A and B are shown apart, each in its own frame.
Chain A
Amino acid sequence: MKLDTSGFETTMPMIGFGSSSEMLDGFSSVPSFDLPRTTDFDGFQKEAVQMVKPAKGTTTLAFIFKEGVMVAADSRASMGGYISSQSVKKIIEINPYMLGTMAGGAADCQFWHRNLGIKCRLHELANKRRISVSGASKLLANMLYSYRGMGLSVGTMIAGWDETGPGLYYVDNEGGRLKGDRFSVGSGSPYAYGVLDSGYKFDMSVEEASELARRSIYHATFRDGASGGVASVYHVGPNGWKKLSGDDVGELHYHYYPVVPATAEQEMEEATE
């Protein structure tokens, strides 16, 4: 099976490093992923898939509006019932004007987004202009398609601003790629969609859109057991992305629904009437 290893190839000679640095050898020669030496590759694949399976517990969302693209995500990593971390960075900065969201296997998402960043930079250098969001998402989708069936777990959204304006694409490990205005990915996505769809208008200001994104993530963390931690909100505008906020959802709950002391006195009044 021909694996897509073009991400590793480089036409630049590795001057200054020579053969002494073992770390960079993987990038200078023609590499490939080592396939495991096993008699039953399909069975091994199944086991590998099951190992990463619990990982799509998350809530990420992104939507296009008048002022650009709003991207938001929670920060919880769970393994079955156990919370392994409450502070995972799920919004990956591919380059200063493009963001990717992480859902699925953390290692898979981090690696392939970084790989995508490398390819985007190479495109810039080769063509003297920035790559479009459409082109970047196509590169990622093609890379993932060539690993189809091998157990990668990636459900990502590529959000950015290029010459045609704001762009948003959903790309997953099946090799699917969808262009759209609103997406939410992960186990908490149905709850996020409920709030996002009912509050969405194209004509929103940056503050309104960021509050909508934050609220959607908060509601998903409340209902979904596998989402929680910190709700991060990023905005992608014509000058690139900017992180707007990172609020702990535990505190957001009491901010939206403050605890009101019980009105015992009122009840007594009603009894005497």
Chain B
Amino acid sequence: MSIFEYNGSAVVAMVGKNCFAIASDRRLGVQLQTIATDFQRIFKIHDHLFIGLSGLATDVQTLYQRLVFRHKLYQLREERDMKPDTFASLVSAILYEKRFGPYLCQPVIAGLGEDNKPFICTMDSIGAKELAKDFVVSGTASESLYGACEAMYKPDMEAEELFETISQALLSSVDRDCLSGWGGHVYVVTPNEVKERILKGRMD
């Protein structure tokens, strides 16, 4: 198993009508052994910007702390929150700085930009940005997630329908992966509120 599969993870983000949803699994494992079932992979940068990090758990936590630090500095200097596309460029630059000793993470960034237009993107571990209009996936279950999202996704879904779709896509994909699952964590973000939900999934 490769180093990216050491801890196991699954992260997915989807775009809806003036809203977005980002979801992850909750398992932390050491190869096949499950250590925790409440591991956080999705972090809030500000009310309209979330980042989900898949891959090696230690790098997930360290990279998140670095990014929060950089965003707080930005807030102090610019007296406003960072826009999602700017943040994505920041993440990409930070990852490329470590080109020859990279953070072993694949981030998924989701936010509401100008005029509350949803923005999602994913990156590989050295910062290659991939923007998408519909959905992005990352983690050990990524192949299953691509299939499930492709089949279930429709454009311009409202918040409730988007929640159902992303939850079903996540749960059915992690049920085909030994290294991720054990529950789900979904954030649905609209211009006015953030709804956080925990999914009841198969615990095997």
Contact = CB atoms under 8 A, between A and B. Distances in A.
Contacts of B203: 221-222, 249-250, 253
Main secondary structure of the interface of A (DSSP, over half): loop
Given A57-B32, A224-B33, A225-B8, A82 B200 contact: no
A82 B34 contact: no
Contacts of B175: 83, 86
Contacts of B201: 250
Given A222-B203, A225-B179, 12 more contacts: A80-B1, A81-B177, A82-B176, A224-B32, A225-B29, A225-B178, A227-B204, A249-B203, A250-B202, A253-B203, A254-B200, A259-B200
Interface in B124-159: 140
A226 interface: yes
A151 interface: no
Given A223-B34, A225-B29, A81 B204 contact: no
A109 to B, nearest CB: 20
- Please name the 10 residue pairs, one residue from A and one from B, whose CB atoms are nearest each other, closest first: A228-B204, A250-B202, A225-B178, A221-B204, A253-B203, A225-B32, A249-B204, A83-B176, A78-B178, A81-B179
Contacts of A74: 204
Interface residues of A, number: 24
A229 B34 CA distance: 16
A254 to B, nearest CB: 7
A76 interface: yes
8 contacts: A57-B32, A57-B178, A81-B5, A81-B179, A83-B177, A222-B203, A225-B33, A253-B202
A187 B179 CA distance: 14
Interface in A82-113: 82-83, 86
Given A57-B178, A81-B5, A82-B176, A229 B200 contact: no
Contacts of B204: 74, 76, 221-222, 227-229, 249-250, 253
Interface in A190-232: 221-229
B202 A82 contact: no
Interface in B160-204: 175-179, 200-204
Question: Which of B29, B33, B203 has the most CB atoms of chain A within a 10 A radius of its CB?
Answer: B203
A57 B204 CA distance: 13
Contacts of B176: 82-83
Interface string A238-260: 00000000000110011000010
A68 B116 CA distance: 67
A223 B182 CA distance: 10
B72 to A, nearest CB: 30
Contacts of A222: 34, 203-204
B1 A224 contact: no
A225 B5 contact: no
Contact of B34 (A76, A78, A224, A254): A224
Contacts of A227: 204
Contacts of A57: 32, 178
Contacts of A86: 175
B63 to A, nearest CB: 23
A82 B32 contact: no
A74 B202 CA distance: 14
A129 to B, nearest CB: 43
A221 B32 CA distance: 11
A81 B180 CA distance: 9
Nearest to A221: B204
Given A225-B8, A227-B204, A81 B33 contact: no
A58 to B, nearest CB: 11
A250 B171 CA distance: 12
Contacts of B200: 254, 259
Contacts of A82: 176-178
Question: Which of B31, B33, B175 has the most CB atoms of chain A within a 10 A radius of its CB?
Answer: B33
Interface in B1-58: 1, 5, 8, 29, 31-34
B135 to A, nearest CB: 21
Contact of A223 (B8, B33, B177): B33
A228 B202 CA distance: 9
B201 to A, nearest CB: 8
A86 B181 CA distance: 15
Question: Which of B5, B140, B178, B202 has the most CB atoms of chain A within a 10 A radius of its CB?
Answer: B178
